[in-house]
């Protein structure tokens, strides 16, 4: 009821046989994370709108034929969810293996959220052929771009748009041609990127990474004023 001042009730459901309480509006993944239960996830990130595009978080729900993405599904009272069943784990591992194949051959695909989830679930080398690798982009003084390591989770797009309200990063093309772009397909260094680094923090594979030590030194030297675009003080100086 609205207007009676009562706090919305938590939703009790079970996850792999354990009773959990989801806060109102919380998804299965959010409730699981708060309870310390690990469900693989890559396109989900706290603070960003859930998109459900990577499918790493698929879980089994009693009474339903298909699997469901835990990052997008809010539980109903009494829902029985299984994230560690053989069927759910098989789906999660297959998704991770396909994503590993996407990034095969990338020099930056090391020690990332993707590789850590693979290690946790015992996913090794992919059985699938890697895709053609796009050329790396080192045009930006503070951020390197290796779209060969990109899994198109769009966390960088949402971080740029929803956190920084910059809207530099977009998603273009269809099917096999779908890709991350900067402005209208510019090199990152030629785009309107202000170098805030929000996309680097959001990237789960290392496709967007800090540039080398020399560029980092440039990026952190003293300046007279903060960036006029986003106002967060990224410390980049433009000549």
Note the residues at the interface with ligand FES (CB under 6 A).
Answer: 41-44, 52-57, 69, 71
CB of 82 to ligand FES, least distance (A): 16
User: Least distance (Å) from ligand FES to the CB of residue 224?
Assistant: 42
Q: Of the two residues 140 and 155, which places its CB atom closer to ligand FES in the complex?
A: 155
3-state secondary structure of 73: coil
Task: Please identify, using beta-carbon distances, which residue of 48 and 187 lies nearer to ligand FES.
Answer: 48
- C-alpha 24/C-alpha 37 separation (Å) is 19
155 CB-near residues (< 8 Å, 6+ apart): 43, 45, 48, 199, 202, 203, 204
DSSP class of residue 74 equals: P
Of 88, 89, 150, the closest CA to residue 122 belongs to 89
Shortest distance, position 51 Cβ to ligand FES, whole Å: 7
Q: Report how far residue 91's alpha carbon sits from residue 126's, in angstroms, rounded to the nearest whole number.
A: 14
If the CB atoms of residues 70 and 145 are measured against ligand FES, the closer one turns out to be 70
Compute the least distance from the CB of residue 50 to ligand FES, in Å. 7
> Which helix H or strand E contains 95, and what residues bound it?
helix 86-103
* Min CB(95)–ligand FES separation in Å: 9
Q: Which is nearer to ligand FES, 57 or 194 (CB)?
A: 57
Pair 155, 198: CB distance under 8 Å: no
**C-beta closer to ligand FES: residue 69 or 75:** 69
Query: How far does Cα 72 stand from its chain's mean position?
Result: 14
DSSP-derived secondary structure letter, 63: T
* Minimum CB–partner distance for residue 41 and ligand FES (Å): 3
Query: CA-to-CA distance for 79 and 50, rounded, in angstroms?
Result: 21
Give dist(CA 30, CA 211) in Å, integer: 32
3-state secondary structure of 15: strand
Nearer to ligand FES, 83 or 236 (CB): 83
């Amino acid at each position: 009821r609205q207007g009676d001042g009562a706090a919305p009730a938590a939703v009790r459901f079970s996850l792999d046989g354990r009773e959990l309480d989801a806060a109102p509006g919380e998804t299965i993944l959010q409730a699981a994370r708060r309870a310390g239960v690990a469900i693989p996830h890559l396109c989900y990130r706290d603070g960003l709108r859930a998109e459900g595009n990577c499918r790493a978080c698929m879980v089994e729900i009693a009474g339903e034929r298909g699997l469901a993405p835990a990052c997008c599904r809010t539980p109903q009272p009494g829902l029985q969810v299984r994230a560690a069943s053989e069927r759910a784990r098989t789906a999660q591992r297959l998704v991770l293996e396909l994503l590993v194949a996407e990034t095969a051959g990338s020099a930056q695909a090391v020690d990332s959220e993707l590789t850590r989830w693979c290690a946790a679930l015992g996913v090794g080398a992919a059985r699938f052929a890697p895709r053609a690798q796009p050329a790396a982009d080192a045009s930006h003084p503070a951020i390197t771009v290796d779209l060969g390591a990109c899994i198109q989770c769009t966390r960088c797009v949402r971080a740029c748009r929803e956190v920084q309200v910059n809207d530099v990063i977009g998603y273009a093309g269809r099917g096999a041609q779908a890709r991350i772009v900067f402005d209208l397909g510019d090199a990152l260094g030629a785009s309107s990127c202000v170098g805030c680094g929000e996309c680097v923090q959001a990237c789960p594979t290392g496709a967007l990474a800090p540039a080398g030590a020399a560029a980092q030194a440039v990026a952190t030297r003293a300046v007279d004023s903060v960036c006029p675009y986003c106002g967060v003080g990224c410390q980049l100086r433009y000549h």
